[in-house]
């Protein structure tokens, strides 16, 4: 294994040079690319060697103030170019390098995707293009000239504004771009190739006309409307809510098939995974349309939270990502249902981030060290980071929070900041009204440094005479790797009492910042104990330990006015049911009560707003169930879930069939309308089909050929777990229909790979050799290998065959694409939670991986898994 020295937050020091201007000349040729870079450098202080990063660069020339640098005046080794004694006055360093984007499968730096040249520079990809400090606190004004053959690359894009175009000899042409805003190298982008353009116009609040351009492959133009409309909605929202306007005359988005992650916020030239651009109702599900809208918004919002104000170093990654996720979550909440959005986000947080926080790769929102920064683009940095911003918002309220944001922007615009700078700005801006802050901001900052999900334990006492409920609360955070001692955190805890007629009294916000706290809530004297609605809206990202009776959960499910708490009560009961079934002892009382409560909900539904009901009926995710099981038995949980779904289908057959009748009318409505009806339809098909209902299977099969991708995919999900003819027919029809559309076919690959068949492993092997499978596309890899790991009986086969297979695949992917491989290696993070057999089998697979030659990215993850 390769083991590089870790980078530490504590070692930060500013770069000893300023780099006010960069001129790049990129000469694209059929077999390689020549990159000439002119750096205007200004030493700051002492005489130091100049060190620039460079990976896989072939040096053609190095000139300092116009003169060649002699061979012994520089060295290039270990990805570092050192100019031993640079001048002490400002100077110009010009390097010319040859790079080979045509054989770059890492998808970092400059690479080819389906004939298109495009870049991904965050976090450290720019060093694969030319020599540069490649750190986010070095900001420069960039001018970029791109030259290529017009036939193969009619479109040449970079950041900022196109300032000149040249027609050259031999069918070549060049375009020069200039970006007026200083930016770090990770925001640089370049795209060259043949693309079709969709153009629109947006006028900002202050009257700036912005040309919006979306660039897609020929034939994909019809699928661009949704992304374009989403962009315009994002621009308007940021003006209305944050008073932040776009700052350039053009905004470009390019869709690329081969992309490691979702999308990238390069200044005025966003590059997107094509699955997050191309969509309409026939080709994308409702959930995908919403996701596309939110990612378009996310990247757009980065223009302020990330680009205008960037990160001092990569330890500050959550400064831009946590904040921008919070902003995109708020955007979706404002445009759609705030309640549904919060519920979906919490479900996701609990099933991904809580799992990460409880395992070997747990790390703080602001890590203290890393080996490969790409390994820290995690749900902790993004989603937990967003929860921290949300808590600040909860603690301060909208008005004070927004004043804090305005303070942050005015203090740090045009600079590279830290999370401390951010929190201090928020606090200072909020306090401008002269009111006490309401919490200890120094203690709040602990959230950034402490890993692990806090446990909130609550005990209570009801005084019937006075009608008072007294709560005793304790918090503690379990130890995480490298962090055994934990401190108390600032927890905003929203609580209320709920009686048989709904909420009693006002909601209260308890701000807990020590190990213990107590609180008394006023209820009705002389009455029975009211239900406790705790952690309303999920006001802090914690696990709650509280004894709640069946009766209390039912009361909350029926009468709580907070939609999150209502949903949470239902989830609690569903978790009980599933865990009891998985342990082989079904709980008949809870099952009967839950079915009765669901029956009432179904009967009361008469159309419209079905999304609320759909989330209420959805079953808890596997990860949160596993967190409550010891040892974890994935096949038992999987079987419990399937049996419970079948039971629901049998017991609720009548109301589900009525539901289908009500929902059918909503099927043709265009997103966002009709999504509730479509969600509920999918749920009804899945439950009824599991119960053996042939009519539901038929309806589902028909939907696969219908006009709605949401219904087609819901149908496939309903049929896929079952050994029935309709399943194979449905998958085949879907394949036949979409085989020429890779973005859509990935859904088929994922469903095939996760179908629980007895010959599952052989089938997955065959999928990897399928003519439509593209081993260089992370989307395809994630579809097949991610689908495979979701194939519980096959992946978790007790003989360890699934684990060994996966380890082999990760090693193979790692040789081409370390970023994608190291993310996949995290599937083994739960190994120590399983029973003895699986534990040792998974551990062997991890050791098998560790024994091979790994990239430093994957080596770092594997080392974390092994400690
Ligand atoms: N900043 C991008 C975002 O919007 C993520 C890009 C990360 N890519 C990478 N190769 N590390 O979230
Ligand atoms: Zn982001």
CATH number at residue 119: 2.60.40.1730
Asked whether residue 230 is domain-assigned, the answer is: no
Predicted pLDDT at 5: 85
Predicted pLDDT at 2: 44
| Same structural domain, 174 and 32 | yes
User: Residue 319: which of 481, 498, 445 has the closest Cα?
Assistant: 445
CATH number at residue 600: 1.25.50.10
Location of structure tokens 């705790």: 534
Instruction: Determine the residue of 377, 378, 822 to mutate for testing ligand 1's pocket, defined as the one with the most ligand atoms within 8 A of the Cβ atom.
Output: 377
Positions in the chain short of pLDDT 70: 1-4, 47
For residues 553 and 571, what is the distance between their CA atoms, to the nearest angstrom? 10
Give the residue numbers spanning the domain of 365.
309-449
Overall domain count for the chain: 4
What are the tens digits of pLDDT across the range 279-327?
999 999 999 999 999 999 999 999 999 999 999 999 999 999 999 999 9
| Same structural domain, 623 and 505 | no
Please name the residues in contact with 464: beta carbons below 8 A apart, sequence gap of 6 or more.
Answer: 525, 526, 527, 528, 529
| Same structural domain, 503 and 614 | no
Question: How big is the chain, counted in residues?
Answer: 867
Q: Which two tokens stand for residue 310?
A: 């960037």
| Same structural domain, 179 and 318 | no
For residues 89 and 84, what is the distance between their CA atoms, to the nearest angstrom? 15
For residues 638 and 207, what is the distance between their CA atoms, to the nearest angstrom? 56
Say if CB 262 and CB 321 are below 8 A apart: no
Cα-only R_g, the chain: 28
| Same structural domain, 37 and 180 | yes
| Same structural domain, 820 and 677 | yes
Instruction: Determine the residue of 105, 261, 271 to mutate for testing ligand 1's pocket, defined as the one with the most ligand atoms within 8 A of the Cβ atom.
Output: 261
| Same structural domain, 593 and 472 | no
Asked whether residue 582 is domain-assigned, the answer is: yes
User: How far apart are the CA of 344 and the centre of ligand 2, in A?
Assistant: 19
Asked whether residue 668 is domain-assigned, the answer is: yes
CATH number at residue 526: 2.60.40.1840
Asked whether residue 58 is domain-assigned, the answer is: yes
| Same structural domain, 34 and 132 | yes
| Same structural domain, 467 and 442 | no
| Same structural domain, 523 and 393 | no
Asked whether residue 88 is domain-assigned, the answer is: yes
Nearest CA to ligand 1 atom 5: 264
Q: pTM for the complete prediction?
A: 0.99
Predicted pLDDT at 1: 42
Asked whether residue 104 is domain-assigned, the answer is: yes
The sign one gets for the Cα dihedral 5, 10, 16, 22 is: positive
Question: Which of helix, strand or coil describes residue 644?
Answer: helix
Say if CB 329 and CB 237 are below 8 A apart: no
User: How far apart are the CA of 674 and the centre of ligand 1, in A?
Assistant: 33
Asked whether residue 119 is domain-assigned, the answer is: yes
| Same structural domain, 439 and 473 | no
| Domain end call among 535, 555, 573 | 535
Predicted pLDDT at 3: 54
- The one-character DSSP state at 13 is -
What are the tens digits of pLDDT across the range 391-411?
999 999 999 999 999 999 999
| Domain end call among 174, 194, 214 | 194
Instruction: Determine the residue of 118, 125, 264, 378 to mutate for testing ligand 1's pocket, defined as the one with the most ligand atoms within 8 A of the Cβ atom.
Output: 264
141 forms beta bridges with 21
For residues 566 and 536, what is the distance between their CA atoms, to the nearest angstrom? 9
**Residues near ion ligand 2 (Cβ under 5 Å):** 321, 324
Q: Which two tokens stand for residue 47?
A: 């005489």
Say if CB 27 and CB 33 are below 8 A apart: yes
Say if CB 87 and CB 69 are below 8 A apart: no
Asked whether residue 396 is domain-assigned, the answer is: yes
| Domain end call among 138, 164, 194 | 194
The sign one gets for the Cα dihedral 436, 439, 443, 445 is: negative
Sort 606 into a burial class: Cβ within 10 Å, 0-12 / 13-18 / 19+. exposed
For residues 742 and 751, what is the distance between their CA atoms, to the nearest angstrom? 14
Say whether 299 is catalytic: yes
Nearest CA to ligand 1 atom 8: 122
Q: Which atom in ligand 1 lies closest to the alpha carbon of residue 299?
A: 4
CA 562 remoteness from chain centre? 26
User: Residue 275: which of 287, 265, 284 has the closest Cα?
Assistant: 284
Lining residues, ligand 1, CB within 6 Å: 120, 122-123, 260-261, 263-265, 298-299, 321, 374, 377, 819
| Same structural domain, 17 and 153 | yes
């Amino acid at each position: 294994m390769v083991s590089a020295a870790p980078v530490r937050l504590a070692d930060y020091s500013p770069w000893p040079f300023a780099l006010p201007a960069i001129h790049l000349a990129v000469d694209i040729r059929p077999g390689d690319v020549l990159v000439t870079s002119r750096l205007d450098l200004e030493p700051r202080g002492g005489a130091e060697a100049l060190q620039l990063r460079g990976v896989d660069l072939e040096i053609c020339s190095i000139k300092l103030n116009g003169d060649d640098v002699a061979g012994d005046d520089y060295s290039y080794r270990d990805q570092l170019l050192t100019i031993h004694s640079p001048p002490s006055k400002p100077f110009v360093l010009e390097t010319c390098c040859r790079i080979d984007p045509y054989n770059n499968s890492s998808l970092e730096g400059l690479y080819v995707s389906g004939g298109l040249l495009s870049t991904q520079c965050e976090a450290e990809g720019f060093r694969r293009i030319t020599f540069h400090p490649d750190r986010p606190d070095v900001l420069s004004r960039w001018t970029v000239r791109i030259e290529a053959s017009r036939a193969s690359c009619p479109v040449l894009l970079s950041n900022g504004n196109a300032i000149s175009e040249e027609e050259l000899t031999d069918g070549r042409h060049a375009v020069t771009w200039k970006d007026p805003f200083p930016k770090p190298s990770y925001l640089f982008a370049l795209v060259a190739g043949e693309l079709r353009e969709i153009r629109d116009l947006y006028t900002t609040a202050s009257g700036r006309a912005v040309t919006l351009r979306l660039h897609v492959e020929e034939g994909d133009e019809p699928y661009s409307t949704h992304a374009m409309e989403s962009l315009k909605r994002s621009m308007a929202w940021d003006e209305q809510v944050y008073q932040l306007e776009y700052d350039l005359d053009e905004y470009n988005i390019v869709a690329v098939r081969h992309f490691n992650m979702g999308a990238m916020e390069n200044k005025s030239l966003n590059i997107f995974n094509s699955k997050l651009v191309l969509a309409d109702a026939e080709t994308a599900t409702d959930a995908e349309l919403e996701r596309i809208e939110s990612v378009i918004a996310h990247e757009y919002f980065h223009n302020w939270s990330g680009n205008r104000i960037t990160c001092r170093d990569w330890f500050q990654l959550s400064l831009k990502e946590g904040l921008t996720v919070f902003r995109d979550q708020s955007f979706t909440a404002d445009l759609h249902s705030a309640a549904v959005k919060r519920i979906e986000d919490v479900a996701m947080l609990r099933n991904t981030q809580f799992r990460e926080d409880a395992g070997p790769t747990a790390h703080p929102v602001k890590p203290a060290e890393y080996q490969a920064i790409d390994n820290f683009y995690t749900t902790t940095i993004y989603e937990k980071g967003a929860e921290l911003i949300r808590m600040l918002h909860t603690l301060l309220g909208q008005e004070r929070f927004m004043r804090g944001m305005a303070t942050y922007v005015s203090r740090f615009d045009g600079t590279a900041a830290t999370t401390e700078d951010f929190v201090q700005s928020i606090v200072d801006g909020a306090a401008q009204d002269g009111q006490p802050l309401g919490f200890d901001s120094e203690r709040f900052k602990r959230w950034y440094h402490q890993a692990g999900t806090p446990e909130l334990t609550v005990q209570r006492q009801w005084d019937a005479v006075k009608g008072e409920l007294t709560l005793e609360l304790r918090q503690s955070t379990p130890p995480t790797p490298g962090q055994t001692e934990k401190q108390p955190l600032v927890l905003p805890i929203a609580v209320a009492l709920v009686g048989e007629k709904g909420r009693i009294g006002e909601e209260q916000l308890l701000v807990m910042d020590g190990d213990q706290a107590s609180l008394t809530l006023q209820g009705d004297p002389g009455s029975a104990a009211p239900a406790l609605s705790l952690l309303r809206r999920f006001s802090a990202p914690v696990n709650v330990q509280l004894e709640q009776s069946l009766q209390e959960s039912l009361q909350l499910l029926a009468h709580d006015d907070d939609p999150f708490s209502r949903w949470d009560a239902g989830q609690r009961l569903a978790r009980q049911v599933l865990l009891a079934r998985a342990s082989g002892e079904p709980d008949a009382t809870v099952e009967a009560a839950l079915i009765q409560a669901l029956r009432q909900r179904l009967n009361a539904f008469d159309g419209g707003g079905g999304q609320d009901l759909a989330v209420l009926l959805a079953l808890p995710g596997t990860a949160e169930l596993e967190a409550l099981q010891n040892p974890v038995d994935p096949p038992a949980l999987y079987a419990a879930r399937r049996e419970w779904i079948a039971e629901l289908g049998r017991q609720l057959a009548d109301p589900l069939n009525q539901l289908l009748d009500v929902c059918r009318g909503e099927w043709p409505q265009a997103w966002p309308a009709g999504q509730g009806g479509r969600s509920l339809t999918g749920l009804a098909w899945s439950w009824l089909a599991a119960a053996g209902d042939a009519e539901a299977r038929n309806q589902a099969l028909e939907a696969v050929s219908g006009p709605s991708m949401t219904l087609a995919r819901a149908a496939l999900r309903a049929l896929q777990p079952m050994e029935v003819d309709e399943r194979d027919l449905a998958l085949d029809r879907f394949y036949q229909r979409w085989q020429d559309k890779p973005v859509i076919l990935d859904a088929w690959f994922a469903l095939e790979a996760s179908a629980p068949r007895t010959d599952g492993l052989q089938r997955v092997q065959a999928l990897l050799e399928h003519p439509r499978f593209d081993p260089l596309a992370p989307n395809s890899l994630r579809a097949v290998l991610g689908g495979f790991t979701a194939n519980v009986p096959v992946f978790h086969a007790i003989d360890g065959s699934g684990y060994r297979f996966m380890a082999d695949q990760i090693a193979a992917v790692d040789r081409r694409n370390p970023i994608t491989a190291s993310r996949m290696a995290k599937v083994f993070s739960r190994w120590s939670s399983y029973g003895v057999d699986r534990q040792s089998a998974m551990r062997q697979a991890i050791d098998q991986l560790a024994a091979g030659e790994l990239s430093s990215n994957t080596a770092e993850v594997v080392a974390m898994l092994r400690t």
